[in-house]
Structure 1
Amino acid sequence: MQLSILLTQNHRLLSVAAIIDVFETTNRFLEEEKLDRQFDIQFIGLNPELPSSFSQYPYRVLSEVSEKSDLIFIPAFRSDDMAQTIQENAEFIGFLHRQFQMGANLISLCTGSFLLAAGGLLNGRQATTHIEAVDAFAQLFPSVQLQPHAIITQSENIYTSGGATSSFHMKLLLIQQHCGREMAVRIAKTFAIDMDRNNQLYFEHFKPSITNDDALVRTVQLTINKRFGEIKNVEEALDEVPSSRRNIIRRFKQATGMTPIRYLQKTKIEAAKGMLETTHKDMVEVMVASGYNDMKNFRLLFKNLTGLTPKEYRDKFGIGSMMTARPASVAHE
């Protein structure tokens, strides 16, 4: 089975290395069981030569490739300027369309989904990406049915995965499809991957940039960032801006990719997350400090934005979650 990795401009090296590591380990396990290797890895890129770090693998220049690959991986990008990154990798888009028509499986990892979306391959389809890139993605590609919570999406022969370690779940899915459940479980254990993850929302760190292009929007952002704990509803922030509500909301969404109320909600919940991570405050104190006065509403919104209840979030990321395991007790005579 031909597994091709696109060596895109500004790719994240760790994303590429993880693909190689997981599928080469699978090949090794198959050989140990006296079975044939399943994955023949090659690179496809724009530059004349392959970087020396991958020199043991076959390399094809994009313009010379006409035959179908079985699996084509688009690794994560390391650049935050996705518009520029897409432009630098535009030559891959026609190739991806041709491969899709031939029946190749197109697999994007993390922010690699931006390249698929830029080519229109995700229009009308469900897709996911890195949780911290979802707002930018939604703004650039409104025709895509973005699933911010999803670890993996599949539509026909197009796959997308969430960010960072979520991409390992994509690899496990493909290994299960092509090598069976037993091998997928063995790989999961080898790489210490929890197979039951079904949500990536709780990995988001909401730290939006303050716009310099619109003074009205900037004022609303700064007001929310400074006074979120005392603001009970978004009208209190909008009242300080000399413009109509409708105009502010339109401009705010254009500048930030979200409505003012969503910005306020995410700011409050981000503050709550910080307290759950770093303090021993009880849940009522956390709720009040983040600007809420109704526990039921606080819990509902928290779960809506993170996929976890406040207690589940503290159990996962709170001060006690990083405690090292205590050694087993030793019996003494």
Structure 2
Amino acid sequence: MKIGFLVTENRRLLSLVAALDFFDMTKRFLSEQSSSEQLELILIGMEQKHPFEKDYPGIPYKQLAETIESLNILIIPAFSSYDMKSNISMNVNFIPFMAQQYQQGAHLMSLCTGSFLLAASGLLNGKQATTHVDGISGFSEAFPDVALKPEAIITEDSRIFTSGGATSSFHLKLFIVQKFFGREIALRIAKAFAIDLDRDNQLYFDQFRPNLVESDDLVRRIQLLIQEKYFEIKNLEEALEEIPSSKRNIIRRFKQSTGLTPIRYLQKTKIEAAKNLLETTNKDIVDVMVSTGYNDMKNFRNLFKTFTGLTPTAYREKYGMRLS
């Protein structure tokens, strides 16, 4: 089996190196077990010289312009910044190669924000995908034809695999190992890398820390209103009556600038405040609810779970203070 690793420009080094280490160890374990399945790893990039010749001299490197045989799996690493337009632009030459390999039967596998480059190829249109929680909004806006699953740790659809943020990539790599080489090898790898296998949601990693909009004073004014008074706002329409503009215009401009409707922005602000209280205080759940401007426990719990994938109680158990 041949696995190729794209050495993209502005790559997140840890994403690529972790994948190399992971599959290099898989290769060694397979060899130790005298398995009939063997791995061949290859790096593919635009640079002239082998970028990791010192650290991975045993893994061959080929330039994108060279003739490259058909691969079984092609891995796209994460990017080191969230300027995705720039990331895609500087890596656009990889897109025809990805499409060619896919047409020849390769499985494509993006790690974290590598999904942006994969989506830019059009190969994800109509298919399920996920990405880092911080990139969800930008991804959905840039690629509306992709069936984005924000909560998903990994997705699999028509030989294309994607993973959520950072360490979620390890769950995808484990999934691939189990799929092609069996559970025994996957468990051995999981133990070697100390990877927990019970993660099924990534929304609780999300942090809502929006920047204030500089280009639209009306939007900025609403952001400040929500930021300063979220805990006392019960009816957003009433709170926005002091804003000199129509409801339709407010919603249009706000969503254009922030990617969210005002009500969604308010909800995410309230839930982020609730998360902080659950993490840093011993207030009971009812007090947390009231402190963030809610008075209906069912509504509060439903919204909390929608945004985090966990109930308030489960979130506190995972991230709350240990007071004993």
Deviations, residues 254-301 of structure 1 (Å, cap 9, x unaligned)? 111111111111110001001111111111221111111111111111
Q: Distance in 1 between matches of 2:66 and 2:220?
A: 49
The 1:89/1:54 distance shift into structure 2, 3 A limit, reads: farther
Q: Distance in 2 between matches of 1:236 and 1:68?
A: 61
Question: Residue 5 of structure 1 corresponds to which residue in structure 2?
Answer: 5
Tell me which of 177, 180, 186 is aligned to 1:178. 180
Equivalences for residues 36-115 of structure 1 within 5 A: 38-52=38-52, 53-56=54-57, 57-115=59-117
CA shift, 1:195, in A, is 1.5
Question: Residue 230 of structure 1 corresponds to which residue in structure 2?
Answer: 232
Q: Distance in 2 between matches of 1:236 and 1:262?
A: 16
The 1:189/1:237 distance shift into structure 2, 3 A limit, reads: farther
Matched letter for residue 180 of structure 2: H
Aligned partner of residue 242 in structure 2, secondary structure? coil
Matched letter for residue 280 of structure 1: N
Q: Distance in 2 between matches of 1:220 and 1:243?
A: 11
Question: Residue 164 of structure 1 corresponds to which residue in structure 2?
Answer: 166
Question: Residue 124 of structure 2 corresponds to which residue in structure 1?
Answer: 122
Q: Distance in 2 between matches of 1:86 and 1:65?
A: 23
Q: Distance in 2 between matches of 1:158 and 1:228?
A: 41
Question: Residue 273 of structure 2 corresponds to which residue in structure 1?
Answer: 271
Residues 37, 181 of structure 2: 8 Å contact kept: no
Question: Residue 149 of structure 1 corresponds to which residue in structure 2?
Answer: 151
The 1:234/1:39 distance shift into structure 2, 3 A limit, reads: farther
Which one is further off, 74-83 or 312-321?
312-321
Question: Residue 262 of structure 2 corresponds to which residue in structure 1?
Answer: 260
Aligned partner of residue 231 in structure 2, secondary structure? coil
Q: How many residues were matched structurally?
A: 322
Q: Distance in 1 between matches of 2:36 and 2:62?
A: 24
Question: Residue 221 of structure 1 corresponds to which residue in structure 2?
Answer: 223
Q: Distance in 2 between matches of 1:25 and 1:240?
A: 62
Q: Distance in 2 between matches of 1:234 and 1:88?
A: 42
Matched letter for residue 223 of structure 1: L
Q: Distance in 2 between matches of 1:236 and 1:15?
A: 47
Residues 107, 159 of structure 2: 8 Å contact kept: yes
Aligned partner of residue 162 in structure 2, secondary structure? strand
Q: Distance in 2 between matches of 1:117 and 1:159?
A: 12
Is 1:302 matched up with 2:304?
A: yes
Matched letter for residue 7 of structure 1: V
Residues 148, 201 of structure 1: 8 Å contact kept: yes
Q: Distance in 2 between matches of 1:290 and 1:183?
A: 47
Aligned partner of residue 322 in structure 2, secondary structure? helix
Q: Distance in 2 between matches of 1:225 and 1:63?
A: 51
Matched letter for residue 32 of structure 2: E
CA shift, 1:54, in A, is 4.2
Is 1:314 matched up with 2:316?
A: yes
Q: Percent identity?
A: 57
Question: Residue 330 of structure 1 corresponds to which residue in structure 2?
Answer: none
CA shift, 1:199, in A, is 0.6
CA shift, 1:38, in A, is 2.6
CA shift, 1:318, in A, is 0.8
Residues 253, 259 of structure 1: 8 Å contact kept: yes
Question: Residue 329 of structure 1 corresponds to which residue in structure 2?
Answer: none
CA shift, 1:13, in A, is 0.9
Deviations, residues 219-252 of structure 1 (Å, cap 9, x unaligned)? 1111111111111132144323211111111111
Aligned partner of residue 44 in structure 2, secondary structure? strand
Alpha-carbon RMSD = 1.5
Q: Distance in 2 between matches of 1:161 and 1:245?
A: 38
Aligned partner of residue 320 in structure 1, secondary structure? coil
Residues 126, 145 of structure 1: 8 Å contact kept: yes
Matched letter for residue 198 of structure 1: D
Q: Distance in 2 between matches of 1:237 and 1:316?
A: 34
Q: Distance in 2 between matches of 1:29 and 1:47?
A: 31
CA shift, 1:21, in A, is 1.6
Question: Residue 331 of structure 1 corresponds to which residue in structure 2?
Answer: none
Residues 6, 75 of structure 1: 8 Å contact kept: yes
Question: Residue 328 of structure 1 corresponds to which residue in structure 2?
Answer: none
Matched letter for residue 5 of structure 1: F
Deviations, residues 100-123 of structure 1 (Å, cap 9, x unaligned)? 111111100000000011111111
With the length of structure 2 as denominator, give the TM-score of the two structures: 0.96
